[in-house]
Amino acid sequence: MLQHTTRVVAGLAAVGIAAVALSACSSDSGDAASADQKVTISVSGYPSSDKPESRKIWDDRIKLFEKANPNIDIEPTETTWDPTTFSALVAGGTLPTAMSVPYTNIRQLAENGQVYDISSLIDGDKTLAELNPDVQAQAVIGGKTYGIVSAAYTLGLVYNRALYTQAGLDPDDPPTTWDEVAENAQKIATATGQTGFSIATTQNSGGWLLTGMSYGFGSRIQNEEGTKAEVDSEGPQAALDFLQGVRWDDNAAGSNFLMTQDDMRTAVAAGQIGQTVLGADVYNDLVGNRGMNGADLGIAGLPQSDDGLGTLGGGTIQVVSPKATEAEAEAAVKWIKFMYLRAYTDKDFAIETAKARSEEGQPVGAPMLPVFNQEQYDTYLGWIADYVDVDQEQFAPYFDSLSELKIVPEPLTAAQETYALLDAAVQKVLTEKDTDTEGTLKQANTESQALIDQAQ
């Protein structure tokens, strides 16, 4: 989902503030350039001028990288992912050499020849061999690797532990089925007067979240090949019926049914929402940025029906321009490893980063879907153990779900456009009593198929 791809700068702020302090160990920050040839590459994601602190972090990181790789010069650009301009950037030769793109679009970009096949450049790379295979698989299309995953998430049930307690519920035993979510929502609404369960419904978030809930209810909104719409299948139908029941039968969905994801996060942090579905990587934002008491935040795996498929997964993939020379592509891969992965593979860097976050009053050790395999991630947590201030046991339900629930990718074709269609369906169900959910989804399915056909 696009909202997650825009967090790259914030993530760098989390891991990059210690860059200056790490200059002493910069010789370990990357491989020396493999050729004497001077290479200049452009990279995406440079913070805008109204964010001087974030820019300084980037500038410091660039200096460290160039010191470790003296034959590579970095030209940062403010370019960010925009599906409406990406093709033009490629065609015009102005796409940055290294670029961040969402999971959702990688297959289409690869099939269109709009990203570089980096398979030969990463063959035998020890660092990349330690990536979480379930996560990195998203960048592998037809046996070829078209990018490096730098951030990943899964949808999960986000809930307020304090409201659970007030409603007589056990915050250490969150629901694993949708029926249990509905039961808890009613209890929370009755006991506390707060919203028992709700989801964001605007700016494509309603469709995105309905898609994830559909996976939990047992089917997709599109076939795996991305050629046929399945918006009117059993999963979306059950998910929409669930929302309708919580809203109209249980009166546990609150009163604001046109919330952005930002609105939802603010309401969750303020203790106004008992349960919702969000990307499970929300701890740093809710606690570090929005002031939520960390002890009140609960995160669990996405609830499932008896035939649930698993949970929606997404994230950010770093790709290389298809117009890059081999030397430029090799340099881009080195930059990606340094900029996005080093915090989890370099002990000194990891410790200094965690120390810096701690000194800034930011959380350390927040629950997340590890980009690296479990062994490497556990090693990383061991390195920073002295600074971890997030109770790992509090989020055991989510950590357990990572080994129990299959990660199901987002739809392959016209995903964002289909999410926009489903925004309207979700809003209609929540605002118009007795909405014909079956008819609503059949109409959306027809429109979704037209979008798929147009994109083929």
Residue 282 has pLDDT above 70, yes or no: yes
> Does the domain formed by 2-153+314-383 have CATH 3.40.190.10?
yes
pLDDT tens digits, residue range 215-257? Answer: 999 999 999 989 999 999 999 999 999 999 999 999 999 999 9
- Per DSSP, helices labelled H in 137-280 are 161-166, 178-192, 205-217, 234-244, 261-269
Residue 27 confidence class, pLDDT cut points 50, 70, 90: very low
Position 14 scores a pLDDT of: 42
- What are the extents of the domains in the chain? 2-153+314-383, 155-312+407-455
pLDDT tens digits, residue range 84-105? Answer: 899 999 999 999 999 999 988 8
Q: Which two tokens stand for residue 23?
A: 């200059």
Position 15 scores a pLDDT of: 43
Residue 172 has pLDDT above 90, yes or no: yes
Check residue 42 and report its DSSP letter: E
Position 361 scores a pLDDT of: 84
- The candidate with the shortest Cα–Cα distance to 447, out of 232, 208, 211, is 232
103 touches 409 (CB < 8 A): yes
pLDDT tens digits, residue range 283-322? Answer: 999 998 999 999 999 999 999 999 999 999 988 999 999 9
- Tell me what the pLDDT averaged over the chain comes to: 90
On the question of a common fold for 2-153+314-383 and 155-312+407-455, the answer reads yes
Q: Which two tokens stand for residue 35?
A: 């050729």
Q: What's the average model confidence in pLDDT over 65-86?
A: 94
Least confident of 25-29, 70-74, 370-374, 411-415: 25-29
N-term to C-term CA, the chain:
21
186 touches 194 (CB < 8 A): no
pLDDT tens digits, residue range 417-428? Answer: 999 999 999 999
Where b means 16+ CB within 10 Å and e means fewer, 81-101 reads bebeebeebbeeeebbbbbbb
Least confident of 7-11, 94-98, 153-157: 7-11
- 155-312+407-455: CATH number: 3.40.190.10
